[in-house]
Structure 1
C-alpha cells in the first residue's frame, strides 16, 4: 500500500510540473524595444506601431508580446497599408425605371480604373420620405450576385442620403423601393484602394551547383534580411518547374520552407512569386528541379517582407506608462487574446490610430530562462518522466521480488 502511495505521489508531481509551466515572465525574452507614443489624447485611444526589420531578424513571430508597466497588453497584428485618400464623384447612368406596385431603378456605373472601387451611392428626393430599399449588384443587368437591404429617410433637412456599396467593383445596380419614393441618384463615389506595404531586397545570384536533374543556388543572406515571399525571374519566359526552398534554423539545421510546382507564363509579368511558410532571415537555398528539361537561367531574386503593424488600446496619460515590445523566445506559444480586448475593424474605421514608433533594439538585461518555463522546464519534465518510469519499474520489481520470497517461504 505504501508503495502504491509513493507511485501516485510521483505521478502527481509530474503532472503538476506540466500545469504550472504556463505563466509568461518577461525574463524569457532575449530582446526588447521601447514603444514611443507620439501624442496623448482622451482615453481608449488606439495605438498603431509599425514592425521593423530588426524585429524580424530576432523574432520567432509567435513570441511577440507588448507590455505596459510590466503588464501584458492585448494586441492585434495586421498587414500595413498605405491609406489612400483619393476619391472622386461621378454621375451614374439611369438605364431603366418602372413605377407601379414598386419603384425599380437600374443604374450603370462608369468603368473602373485598375485599383479602384465604388464606395457610396448618393440618394435624394424632392419630398420627405422613409423607405426600405433592396439593392442588388452585379456584372450586368441580367446577373446580380449581391443583395443588401437599406433603410433611407428624409425628414426636412435631415436625411440619410447615402448607400454604402462596400467597396464593390460591380457596375450595375438594381434599386427596389416602395412606390411614391421618387428617388434620384445624383452621384456615385469611387475610391482608390489601399496599398499593402513591403520592403524588398535584391539578392546577388551565386554560382549554381549543377546536380543530376536539378540546379542548386545557395544565398548567404549576410545582412539577415527577413522575407516571407521570394520573387524569381528567369531568362526563359514560359516554364514550369518543381522548386524547393530551404532555410537554416539556428545556424545549423536546414528546414524546408517551400516545396511545390510553380507554373509561369509570359503574360504574368517578369517574376514568379513563391510564398514562404514562415519568416526567414538566414541563409537559404533554392533548388530548381529540371528533370529532363533544359536548365533554366535564373536572372534575378528578390526577397519580400510584408510590413506589419500591431494595434492596441492605450490610456490618456501616456507619460506615466512605459510600453515595451518583447520578443526573442523560440519556445513561446502564439498569443491568444479575447477579441474584445484589442481594436476591432469597426473601431479602426471610426477612429484614427495614434502613430507610435519602435526604439532601437536592445538585449533584455533580465533575460534568463526560468526553471519552470521552456526550454528548461521541458528538460526537467523529461528527466522527471524517465525518473518516474525507472522508479515505477523499481517498485514493481521490488513487489514481485517480495512476493517470490513469500511464496518460497510458504513452500
Structure 2
C-alpha cells in the first residue's frame, strides 16, 4: 500500500438498502460535512446496489446511484470502500471477495457469513492489504467487537456472557413480567415488529449462535464457527419454567456463553454455547429488559465489564457501520490497515458434553418415604453433587426441584436419563441450565 497516492475523496458503495442500508445512506448524506472532517477528505456515495429499483425505501436515494448490478459496482476502479448489509451467505461472500480483490476496504454487518466462513474473508483482506471491519455484526450499536479486538488486546479474557438477540429477550421478558406463555409472548413480539413472520432464526438460537462464534473467536484468539456452537432455542421454555426461576430469585434469559475451560490433556480449550438459562436477579444481565442487548466480559486484569444498549434496528446498526467506515477510511488515507484475524492461540473447541455447567431439574414424583434419598442417589451415581433441593405440593402434585453443583453436561444429561427410568418418577417436567454464579 506504500505506493497508493493519497486521494482527495473516498467513494463508498453500499450493498443493500433495507432497514440498515437505508440508514447508512441517510447518515452518509446528512453527516457528509462531519464525516469529511473526521476522516480528512469527503466521503461520497458511489452507488447503492439493490434487488429492485422500484422497491419502496425508507430513505430517498438519487436514481442515478441505484443499480441492480452489485458485481459491477464493487468491481469499479473508483470505489474505495464497500459496505455490505445484504446479509446471508451468497452473494454476499462473492461480493466481499470481489471488492477486496479490486482494492476496496470492506465494512460488513453479516454475522451469518462471518460465523460460517470468516477465515476465507480475513485471508482475502490480508492478501489484498485492505481492512475488513464488522462491528455491526454483533449487538447492533453496542461497541463490543472493537473492545475485544483492541481495548482488551493486552489482557486475557476468560469469559464472555451475553444477551445478543433482542427478539428472544423481549419474549422472555414478557413471559417474566406478565406470566404469558411462549406463544402469546411471540405473537406480541411479532405485532410490535420485534419478531419476523418466520422467527426461527431468532427463537431457535441460530442468530445468537453466529454471534457467539464471532465473540469467541475474538476473545480467545481461535477460529470458532457457528457449527462449533452448542445451540438450544427458547421455544420449549414454559410459563412454569419462568415461574420456577422467579421462585428461586432468578430470571430466564437466552445466553451466549463463551469461556475458557480445561480440555483434554489439561490444555485450555474454548467452550461456546447458546441456550436458555436461569441467572440470579442480582446479576447485571438480569436487568436487561425488552429488546435490549448486553454483553458481560470477564478478564484477568480489567475484571468484569458490561456493554449495554440497543442490539438491533436500522439506525443503531447503521451507527456501528459508520463507526467502522470512519476507521477504515482513515486507514486508507494513512496507507495502513487495522488488525486482521487473530487466531494464534488455535485452541480446540470443547464438545458440549465436556462443558461444565449446572442444572435446575423439576421432577414429578410419588409422595412417599424414601423418594428424596432415591433421587439423591441417582445424582450421586453419576458424580453430580446437589446444591439445593426442595419439595413442592403433596400427593399427586408432589414435585422435587433440584439445583445441582457444577458438573459436566454429559454427567447431568445421564442423571436426567436415569431419573426418567425410575419407578418413583412420574415425569421430569423441566430441565434448565443455571448460570451467573461461580463455585
Shorter-chain TM-score: what band? under 0.3
Flag the structure with more relative contact order, 1 or 2, with Cα contacts below 8 A and sequence separation at least 6. 1
TM-score by length of 2: 0.18
Higher helix share: 2
Q: Report the structure number with the largest CA radius of gyration.
A: 1
